[in-house]
Structure 1
Amino acid sequence: MSADFPLSRTAHPAPEAERIQILSAPVFGRYFTDHMAFASWTPESGWHDRGIGPLKPFTFHPGTAVLHYAQEIFEGLKAYRHADDSVWLFRPEANARRFARSARRLALPELPAEDFLASVEGLIRADEPWVPGPHGEQSLYLRPFMFASDPFLGLRPARQVEYSVIATPTGSYYSSGITLWVSDQYTRAARGGTGAAKCGANYAAGLAAQTEAQERGCDQVLYLDSAGEGKLEESGTMNLCLVTSDGRLVTPALGTILEGVTRDSVLTLATDFGLVPEERAVTLDELRSRAEEGTVTEVFAVGTAVVVTPVVAFKGHGYEFVIGNGTPGKQTMALREHVLDIQHGRAEDTHGWMRRVI
């Protein structure tokens, strides 16, 4: 374990029988492991007090800045147990770089990549028994996060910051093809906004749209651009990809959307599946017309939690339409299986994406 994050083990770990029961059917975000990683920052001392210790609550002053100004960022990545009992991370360096970009956008201090990796790996080693076995789609989801912790009600960048990593065992996020609600009331981000940053405020602002989608029988929301041009952006928790009949894998261009690690991975793998990757603006009108004529043959969503999830239908005010025959597409499922096989060590990692921890 890195000396930068020394371990102080909990005296009260979860009973083994309880942990085994949780791991038999893990649910995303419901149960947490025994430990947490942590570090603090001030302008005078920089990053200090690094460590890994028992999972415990934070204690806040009512005036703590994050509670009032939402100066906060987070990341999401997974650890996978392979058949030989080793444990691996999938492209954690990309998460470390995105965490730094998000910090810059939210005027938070940048955590060095080596600290990000040491904290994540140290927590995995401390809570290795919590990493599910090498079967199905189970994994250990890790949530690094950073927030303004100074008790101050003036609007300025934080002068006291806390960093932490917690972990939760998880299984499959969506079990089958999903339907997206196309919101014409809410937008996720605007040019110059925080759309490219992974910050909690983006997700909090999307809860009303997500609720609207669920009330209309849909699994998630699909946002359009804030300029009113009808361009597809991303879903509430994932990037969007289209497969066309002429062999293209099309995804909305970056700028106001999150630069997803799984999105980038799928674009890199596209040529292995006979697809030409293409990042460009796609309008709702184009999606609807091409779905109707059959030249958009598959749609899927990508993200750390959802991996590659087929999108089989869309709904909006006064319309709905299906993709293909309304069932998960062949290319989608092949890409999904291949990404999972790389992550779980069942396929060769030709891109050097996996990082061994144990």
Structure 2
Amino acid sequence: MTTPTIELKPSANLVTEAERDRILAAPGFGRYFTDHMVTVKWTEGRGWHDAELVPYAPLSLDPANMTLHYAQTIFEGLKAYRQADGSVATFRPEQNARRFQRSARRMAMPQLPEELFVGAVDALIKQDSAWVPGTGEESLYLRPFMFATEVGVGVRPANEFLFMVIASPAGAYFSGGVKPVSVWLSEEYVRAAPGGTGEAKAGGNYAASLIAQAEATKHGCDQVVWIDAIERKWVEEMGTNNLFFVYGDRLMTPALTGSLLAGVTRDSVSRIAADLGYQVEEGKISVDEWRRDDANGTLTEVFACGTAAVITPVGTVRSASGGWTVGGDGQPGEVTMKLRKALLDLQTGAAPDAHGWLHPVA
């Protein structure tokens, strides 16, 4: 089947320039959305069709929409950055496209062609390029997602789906300077189990995580850290972020076992760290090892990474059995901040793109 061309149907009622400037002055994260969205339909026997860029608007859903009952829905997240020369580029969008395909396969959904995924993101950015902030760490956050649109309550894979892309301007994650986060080790709940949907960006994974995040907040923590579902001892992820443990000039990140999300930022950090001369490895670290290595000083820093926050230092750890401070003082470490700057400089065009990761759009 041929990949459909995206038909442009722009809005005649754009947000005024003054209102857009007001929003861009303090966009926050996920609070405001641009003028347009992209939609592409999939129907069994017909494939992908009716690809359109249209005005941003509410959707109309039947009460028996299968996604509302069986959660057949996946999503991605990536950013577009204003470059030093005023142009706009996304960061490794083909990796998001491929992960979207893996998520779809796991959730019994049709796999969107990579060129259609990237083309839909590009089309929205080009149309709404005025919404891309113009300074530093600020960005335009892109949210591609897909869900079942078939009507019915029979338990089986749906035969109709809708793929969409929306965009939201995002301010700097740490507006007042990088702040270490406190984390709560979840010993009661697990994020994912072997054979489950942990490596897919499926909506249900995030719904299941909310109670643990609420527990973390109750204990005065910013984020939850997940441990494995079998032995209940191995550290896996922090919230929706991958973790890195710094042992001097050696970095270790939990290995991808099928229950962890293969983060695009995780892979990028690993490769940038290697470029800078650090030894990078995948492995396993238990909660007891984390506590012990922090106490004896061999573990010098811990940070999390993901699309939204880029790189976030971990400052303190709490659990039902006690807590500890990371790195002695809980402050952002030298390696963490060096890697954070290197990644942001690459994404915003302030440093050479040696890997060819930037995808020019507008």
Same fold per superposition (TM over 0.5): yes
1:352 maps to what in 2?
356
Q: Is the 8 A contact 2:255 2:283 kept in 1?
A: yes
SS in 1 for 2:8: coil
Q: Provide the alpha-carbon RMSD of the alignment.
A: 1.1
Q: Does 1:293 align with 2:296?
A: yes
Q: Percent identity among equivalent residues?
A: 52
Equivalent residues in 2 for 1:1-358 (5 A)?
A: 4-133=5-134, 135-174=135-174, 175-245=178-248, 247-255=249-257, 256-324=259-327, 325-358=329-362
| 1:118-158 alpha-carbon deviations (Å, 9 max, x no partner) | 1000000010100000x231000000000011111011111
Query: Which residues of structure 1 form unaligned runs of 5+?
Result: none
SS in 2 for 1:206: helix
Shift of the alpha carbon at 1:3?
Answer: 7.5
Q: What code does the residue aligned with 2:164 have?
A: S
Moved more, 175-184 or 31-40: 175-184
Q: Is the 8 A contact 2:53 2:124 kept in 1?
A: yes
Task: Quote the Cα distance in structure 2 between the aligned partners of 1:327 and 1:235.
Answer: 18
With normalisation by structure 2, the TM-score equals 0.96
Q: What code does the residue aligned with 1:295 have?
A: T
| 1:91-127 alpha-carbon deviations (Å, 9 max, x no partner) | 0010000000000000000000000011000000010
Task: Quote the Cα distance in structure 2 between the aligned partners of 1:201 and 1:346.
Answer: 38
Task: Quote the Cα distance in structure 2 between the aligned partners of 1:320 and 1:185.
Answer: 16
Q: Is the 8 A contact 2:106 2:200 kept in 1?
A: yes
Task: Quote the Cα distance in structure 2 between the aligned partners of 1:136 and 1:217.
Answer: 30
| 1:211-263 alpha-carbon deviations (Å, 9 max, x no partner) | 11111111110000000340001011211001003x21100010210000000
Moved more, 66-75 or 169-178: 169-178
Q: What code does the residue aligned with 1:162 have?
A: L
Q: What code does the residue aligned with 1:242 have?
A: F
SS in 2 for 1:50: strand
Q: Is the 8 A contact 1:26 1:138 kept in 2?
A: no
Q: Is the 8 A contact 2:4 2:48 kept in 1?
A: no
SS in 2 for 1:296: coil
SS in 2 for 1:96: helix
Task: Quote the Cα distance in structure 2 between the aligned partners of 1:229 and 1:45.
Answer: 46
Task: Quote the Cα distance in structure 2 between the aligned partners of 1:15 and 1:329.
Answer: 43
Query: Which residues of structure 2 form unaligned runs of 5+?
Result: none
Q: What code does the residue aligned with 1:345 have?
A: G
SS in 1 for 2:23: helix
Task: Quote the Cα distance in structure 1 between the aligned partners of 2:62 and 2:4.
Answer: 31
Task: Quote the Cα distance in structure 2 between the aligned partners of 1:4 and 1:20.
Answer: 32
Q: What code does the residue aligned with 2:12 have?
A: A
SS in 1 for 2:336: helix
Shift of the alpha carbon at 1:271?
Answer: 1.9
Paired residues in the alignment total 355
| 1:297-333 alpha-carbon deviations (Å, 9 max, x no partner) | 0000000111011111111013111111210000000
SS in 2 for 1:104: helix
SS in 1 for 2:317: strand
Moved more, 116-125 or 5-14: 5-14
Shift of the alpha carbon at 1:345?
Answer: 0.4
